[in-house]
Chains A and B, each alone.
Chain A
């Protein structure tokens, strides 16, 4: 049974390991995955703890449907207080780790304390062992995984690891598994590094009983037909995520030269078709690879075609790499993109954070805020691929003054660099925005401003807002499972109805994160993909747990509230530029310069933006300062937190 998967508390300071069942009452409230992690984070961390100290608690989990027949149920979630902005830290990745964790008997790990020397965890059929990591410390992401398999003598072991960036406490280091599955945002790799925890290895052969196997199989088949018939998934399954970058860049939604432009010109070499052409040339006509049980298979395989790294195999590049390595620093070459994508995969660092940070430094260099003295002679101008790659290395290995400063993340770096460097930093809650430019899309701007883990697209982005769907189609999507009869607009440059969309997607994405399903299998990029109704069915067929679509929505809303409560406890205030639901002034003051006719000249209207936030707060049951009203907490059943149920 999925429901008998356990939770383990691991104290690395004392070596004590405690294994407990997860009570049904808790399952019904939070299901699992990110939702339950949010509850655990609030209950197991002290206010104001040092994110890189032993008091921070690291949660690792799979969703309640991990490795069951709900398709793409491999999402692994990692949560802790973030060393990047000091707020909520949360990252999510696919791959094959959590199925192995679930077959080994576990859904949730709560890791506390700090080991006195490098260690890794070995989880095997109900048992957990803390092992010496002296032979794997210092290794790259993939070498670490292969070395663990060799040491334990089993090729089927799946590991969650950190690379050199995590060991070096780069505040936006990844947690990774496989070749390139990355829990990338908010520096969870640095938290692992700070605990001297190099890896978590899992292998299991324990049955997960499916409650209604026949129904689960048949419903899954229906699911798959629905997923593979969506045009957006067919495109993703052949071109990979770069197709999103291609589409977005064409209308002017891609940050270029940090935030100076919203479209990259002369980008032929890194367009999705060019990337695909290289994959065909170096791998073959079939070059897509997928996570556990997924039919979208959005990840391409490739070999680097030219230069000193020629012939090296990797996967991707994802569209976030196109943003971080190409458009933001304005470097048009394919080789640079493929090489940088490989380096971040091997060193274990967030591609979009590091790309964003270096591009910010490039702007500061061109403005004279950073000089040759700080860069130690490095010509850090936009478009300089060599300088970009050099900076990548300096940051991951903390070389030189600037490498060390930028490794601290935008907020600390801006304090050390001084002058008005902070004004140019495109971040929310200390987390850099991905490469998208939201000046022409108020719904997306509202999403990044209010996302719980900082400026990020995977928390509440109404991406389908760009499709200009007819209002009646939108109404069908947005008035279920809770009724909504307010205004909706098909126009992506509008402000009307967007707060409800952001609220709806926030709960939709939290829903899949609790279940452990990938966002490409829900209303993220495709309007026809599975939703609350389908999840209610697959949850029942696979686990026997009966929750109505509305009850799953409530789980999501409750879990989002736990994240909000955590952020408020760590100092979230509505308009604070470093800890609030607020955008950089450039969104309001600098008009977009390139792109489609309805994009050029656009800024976010500050008054309308604030009205959107007011409205979103109302839907979320918050007062005008962003603090939950007592009746909201009561309604969601989280009015007595921390309640220490687990």
Chain B
């Protein structure tokens, strides 16, 4: 089987909310510090201490790609990502409206849409996140960590049950 390509794997519970991902994203792509230009954004519920980094999911069946009236958006299968060709793009923002994750941005300074391009295979948000709240994994490996954690819980429960059983005899 051909590899499906790597994807951004986000674990919100690990995020400390520091927003370094937003900073490095804007510096890497635009040479400036400006969170408004970042492709990734940490959504926050401060009074509950909840932080969730949001970015493009590089959908297989991407709504932005489908809705684009001039076919400026295409899938790059090699890096498993969805790309915008700004030479074709007319700036109608249909893609911004239709994205279910709010991951297609529109930059009011340059009057252009922008989205995550996985930094051509070396996502800087991943490289700089010390918690690995944002990680870059093969698509089929994303669920493995969760599987393992759940399995661990089951084993622990089983052990406890066995221990209780032997205690009562």
A interface SS class:
loop
Report Cα–Cα, A286/B17, bound state, in Å: 12
Inter-chain contacts of A146 with B (CB < 8 A)? 47
Contact A99 B49 (CB under 8 A): no
Contact B108 A313 (CB under 8 A): no
Inter-chain contacts of B157 with A (CB < 8 A)? none
Contact B34 A293 (CB under 8 A): no
B51: shortest Cβ distance to chain A, in Å? Answer: 8
Inter-chain contacts of A205 with B (CB < 8 A)? 34-36, 108-109
Residue of B nearest to A287 (CB): B49
Chain B binder among A113-121, A244-252, A294-302, A506-514: A294-302
Inter-chain contacts of B36 with A (CB < 8 A)? 103, 205
Inter-chain contacts of A210 with B (CB < 8 A)? 27, 31-33
A6: shortest Cβ distance to chain B, in Å? Answer: 16
Interface string of B32-64 (1 = CB under 8 A from A): 111111000000001111010000000000000
Contact B34 A179 (CB under 8 A): no
Residue of A nearest to B51 (CB): A289
Contact A289 B23 (CB under 8 A): no
B49: shortest Cβ distance to chain A, in Å? Answer: 4
Inter-chain contacts of A287 with B (CB < 8 A)? 49
Contact B27 A217 (CB under 8 A): yes
Interface residues on B, range: 20 to 34
Contact B20 A96 (CB under 8 A): no
From known contacts A68-B33, A178-B46, infer whether A292 and B19 are also in contact, taking CB-CB under 8 Å. yes
Interface string of B105-149 (1 = CB under 8 A from A): 000110000000000000010011011000000000000000000
Report Cα–Cα, A288/B13, bound state, in Å: 10
Q: Does B18 contact A (CB under 8 A)?
A: yes
Residue of A nearest to B33 (CB): A208
A241: shortest Cβ distance to chain B, in Å? Answer: 15
Contact B18 A290 (CB under 8 A): yes
Instruction: Identify which of A178, A217, A301, A313 contacts B28 (C-beta below 8 A).
Output: A217
Inter-chain contacts of B108 with A (CB < 8 A)? 205
A538: shortest Cβ distance to chain B, in Å? Answer: 13
Inter-chain contacts of A206 with B (CB < 8 A)? 34
A244: shortest Cβ distance to chain B, in Å? Answer: 19
Residue of A nearest to B30 (CB): A207
Instruction: Identify which of B24, B34, B37 contacts A217 (C-beta below 8 A).
Output: B24
Q: Does B74 contact A (CB under 8 A)?
A: no
Contact B128 A221 (CB under 8 A): yes
Inter-chain contacts of B30 with A (CB < 8 A)? 207
Q: Does B71 contact A (CB under 8 A)?
A: no
Report Cα–Cα, A67/B27, bound state, in Å: 11
Inter-chain contacts of B86 with A (CB < 8 A)? none
Instruction: Identify which of B13, B23, B48 contacts A67 (C-beta below 8 A).
Output: B23
Contact A293 B47 (CB under 8 A): no
Q: Does B16 contact A (CB under 8 A)?
A: yes
Q: Does A224 contact B (CB under 8 A)?
A: yes
Inter-chain contacts of A315 with B (CB < 8 A)? 49
Q: Does B14 contact A (CB under 8 A)?
A: yes
Instruction: Identify which of A71, A103, A178, A213 contacts B31 (C-beta below 8 A).
Output: A213
B100: shortest Cβ distance to chain A, in Å? Answer: 20
Contact A295 B28 (CB under 8 A): no
Interface string of A196-211 (1 = CB under 8 A from B): 0000000001111110
Report Cα–Cα, A288/B47, bound state, in Å: 14
Inter-chain contacts of B34 with A (CB < 8 A)? 103, 205-208
Instruction: Identify which of B14, B19, B27 contacts A96 (C-beta below 8 A).
Output: B19
- Counting chain B CB atoms within 10 Å of each CB, the highest count among A68, A210, A284 belongs to A210
Contact A313 B47 (CB under 8 A): yes
Report Cα–Cα, A99/B19, bound state, in Å: 11
Report Cα–Cα, A179/B17, bound state, in Å: 13
Q: Does A283 contact B (CB under 8 A)?
A: yes
Report Cα–Cα, A228/B18, bound state, in Å: 15
From known contacts A206-B34, A208-B34, A228-B130, infer whether A289 and B16 are also in contact, taking CB-CB under 8 Å. yes
Report Cα–Cα, A208/B22, bound state, in Å: 13
Inter-chain contacts of B48 with A (CB < 8 A)? 313
Residue of A nearest to B48 (CB): A313
From known contacts A68-B33, A217-B27, A286-B14, infer whether A293 and B130 are also in contact, taking CB-CB under 8 Å. no
Residue of B nearest to A291 (CB): B18
B15: shortest Cβ distance to chain A, in Å? Answer: 8
Report Cα–Cα, A291/B16, bound state, in Å: 8
Report Cα–Cα, A422/B47, bound state, in Å: 41
Instruction: Identify which of B17, B18, B127 contacts A295 (C-beta below 8 A).
Output: B18
Interface string of A310-344 (1 = CB under 8 A from B): 00010100000000000000000000000000000
Identify which of residues 535-565 in chain A touch chain B, using a CB-to-CB cut-off of 8 Å.
none
Contact B128 A213 (CB under 8 A): no
Inter-chain contacts of B20 with A (CB < 8 A)? 71, 292-295
Identify which of residues 235-292 in chain A touch chain B, using a CB-to-CB cut-off of 8 Å.
283-292
Q: Does A432 contact B (CB under 8 A)?
A: no
Contact A294 B32 (CB under 8 A): no
Q: Does A583 contact B (CB under 8 A)?
A: no
Report Cα–Cα, A68/B27, bound state, in Å: 9
From known contacts A178-B46, A224-B128, A283-B49, infer whether A209 and B32 are also in contact, taking CB-CB under 8 Å. yes
Residue of B nearest to A284 (CB): B13
B108: shortest Cβ distance to chain A, in Å? Answer: 7
Report Cα–Cα, A68/B24, bound state, in Å: 9
A477: shortest Cβ distance to chain B, in Å? Answer: 25
Q: Does A216 contact B (CB under 8 A)?
A: yes
Contact A217 B124 (CB under 8 A): yes
Q: Does A160 contact B (CB under 8 A)?
A: no
Residue of B nearest to A103 (CB): B34
Q: Does A612 contact B (CB under 8 A)?
A: no
Contact A290 B17 (CB under 8 A): yes
Inter-chain contacts of A207 with B (CB < 8 A)? 30, 32-34, 37, 109
Interface string of A86-103 (1 = CB under 8 A from B): 000000000010010001
Inter-chain contacts of B37 with A (CB < 8 A)? 207
Residue of B nearest to A208 (CB): B33
Report Cα–Cα, A501/B21, bound state, in Å: 37
Instruction: Identify which of A284, A290, A293 contacts B23 (C-beta below 8 A).
Output: A293
Inter-chain contacts of B16 with A (CB < 8 A)? 288-290, 297
Inter-chain contacts of B19 with A (CB < 8 A)? 96, 292-293
Other A-B pairs beyond A221-B127, A224-B128, A284-B13, 18, CB < 8 Å: A67-B23, A69-B24, A103-B36, A178-B46, A179-B49, A205-B35, A207-B30, A207-B32, A207-B34, A210-B33, A213-B32, A220-B24, A220-B128, A285-B13, A289-B51, A290-B18, A291-B18, A295-B130
Nearest 3 CB-CB pairings of A with B: A205-B36, A290-B18, A207-B32
Question: Which residues of B line the A interface, CB within 8 A?
Answer: 13-14, 16-20, 23-24, 27-28, 30-37, 46-49, 51, 108-109, 124, 127-128, 130-131
Q: List 24 A-B contacts (CB under 8 A).
A: A67-B23, A69-B27, A99-B35, A103-B35, A205-B35, A205-B108, A207-B32, A208-B32, A208-B33, A213-B28, A216-B27, A217-B24, A221-B128, A284-B13, A287-B49, A292-B18, A292-B19, A292-B20, A292-B23, A293-B18, A293-B23, A294-B20, A297-B16, A315-B49
